[in-house]
């Protein structure tokens, strides 16, 4: 059983690095728990299923925590069997449910959560979620809880990994919706302004824009001049004989309704906004998301078996591996200018 840090005035500023700890001194793991946190992502159920099946087959008792960190500090914890995860692989969302917890943002709440794991005799915690979920895991690790993070977020904005669970499904959902909007836009002289998810990251917007042949792309990573990059692009297209236009905007780069109004006022072209919103979070996960979720979660169990805690499971250079949680959260990630230049050549 792990040893908790109870001195609220002396919490370490870094999580223990188990690479520097003699594994013989680390107690064997008997019970593990898994939670999903933050926004749900297609493939989370596949990840939970893999944790449960590989965990039990490795000799662990596995517990599920309902409603993420919010459920953790409240003690919503129960044992899960392989039967409980039957028929979950193909389902979107997360059957463990998820929630955002203000309580976990404060040290007092983090200590409550850590103590609840102690109450249930949990030896290691697996967290499936995005950057905010990872910060919660790091806070628990600094208090002495052994943790493993698995990247589950549709935005693909976790710096330490090339891929996050849910990303492929959300892009395919957005692409299919935009293809249908293009069909109706082509029947009129109309501009469709489609807002996709991505408050701080434009990965979904960029790839969907490339896949759907969009004329304009607005993302938070790249400043834009509205007249030059939107109005002029649409007008140049019209003057070349084009009769329909697609503008893709990440939610962090603008509001689709306001952008559509500005386009119509400036060009006289009918502009219709569409906000895809949480539609992108739903649906059965794609093959890639099911496979990545399953293999990443199996790797998480390998980390636990080898007593390599406080790790983030990642995809790097096409290979599933893991990095130290402090190192992973210190990394930065952004869209390169080369990727933007390629889109501009195509548009």
Active site residues: 155
User: 216-218 and 244-250 as β-strands: parallel, antiparallel, unpaired?
Assistant: parallel
Q: How many CA atoms lie within 13 A of 225 on its CB side?
A: 4
Contact, 128 vs 150, CB < 8 A?
Answer: yes
**Residue 159, CA distances (Å) to 43, 315, 318 in order:** 19, 11, 15
β-strand pairing of 311-316 with 244-250 = unpaired
What gap in Å lies between CA 85 and CA 53, rounded to an integer?
A: 8
For 204, what's the count of Cα atoms within 13 Å in the CB-facing half-sphere? 34
b/e sequence 252-272, b meaning 16+ C-beta within 10 Å: bbbebeebbebbbebbebebb
The two tokens of residue 324 are 């130290």
Q: For residue 96, what are its two tokens? A: 């463990």
Q: Is 100 exposed, middle or buried (0-12, 13-18, 19+ CB in 10 A)?
A: middle
Give the 3-state secondary structure of residue 279. Answer: helix
Give the Å distances, CA to CA, from 46 to 96, 264, 294, 345.
Answer: 12, 44, 6, 38
140-167 as b/e, with b when 16 or more CB fall inside 10 Å? Answer: bbbbbbbbbbbbbbbbbbbebbebbbbb
Q: In terms of DSSP H, where are the helices of the chain?
A: 44-57, 68-74, 107-119, 131-142, 167-185, 203-212, 226, 232-239, 256-267, 287-305, 325-330, 337-346
């Amino acid at each position: 059983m792990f040893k908790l840090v109870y001195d609220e005035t002396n919490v370490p500023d870094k999580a223990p690095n188990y690479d520097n700890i003699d594994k013989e001194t680390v107690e064997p793991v008997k019970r593990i728990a898994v939670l999903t946190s933050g926004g749900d992502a297609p493939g989370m159920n596949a990840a939970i299923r893999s944790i449960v099946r590989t965990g039990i087959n490795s000799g662990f008792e596995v517990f599920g925590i309902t409603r993420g960190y919010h459920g953790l500090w409240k003690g919503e914890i129960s044992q899960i069997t392989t039967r409980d995860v039957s028929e979950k692989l193909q389902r979107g969302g997360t059957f463990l449910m998820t929630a955002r917890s203000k309580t976990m943002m404060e040290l007092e709440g983090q200590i409550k959560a850590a103590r609840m794991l102690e109450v249930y005799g949990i030896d290691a915690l697996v967290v499936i979620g995005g950057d905010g979920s990872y910060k919660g895991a790091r806070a628990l690790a600094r208090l002495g809880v052994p943790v493993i993070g698995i990247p589950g977020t549709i935005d693909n904005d976790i710096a330490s990994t090339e891929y996050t669970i849910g990303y492929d499904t959300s892009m395919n959902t957005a692409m299919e919706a935009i293809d249908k909007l293009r069909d109706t836009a082509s029947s009129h002289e109309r501009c469709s302004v489609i807002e996709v998810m991505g408050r701080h990251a434009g990965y979904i917007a960029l790839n969907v824009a490339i896949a759907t042949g969009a004329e304009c792309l607005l993302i938070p990573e790249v400043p834009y001049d509205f007249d030059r990059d939107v109005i002029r692009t649409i007008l140049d297209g019209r003057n070349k004989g084009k009769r329909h236009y697609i503008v893709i905007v990440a939610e962090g780069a603008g509001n689709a309704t306001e952008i559509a109004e500005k386009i119509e006022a400036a060009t006289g072209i009918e502009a219709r906004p569409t906000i895809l919103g949480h539609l992108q979070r739903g649906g059965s996960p794609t093959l890639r998301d099911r496979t990545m979720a399953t293999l990443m979660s199996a790797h998480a169990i390998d980390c636990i078996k080898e007593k390599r805690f406080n790790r983030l499971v990642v995809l790097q250079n096409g290979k599933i591996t893991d990095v130290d949680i402090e190192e992973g959260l210190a990394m930065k990630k952004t869209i390169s200018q080369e990727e933007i230049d390629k889109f501009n050549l195509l548009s």
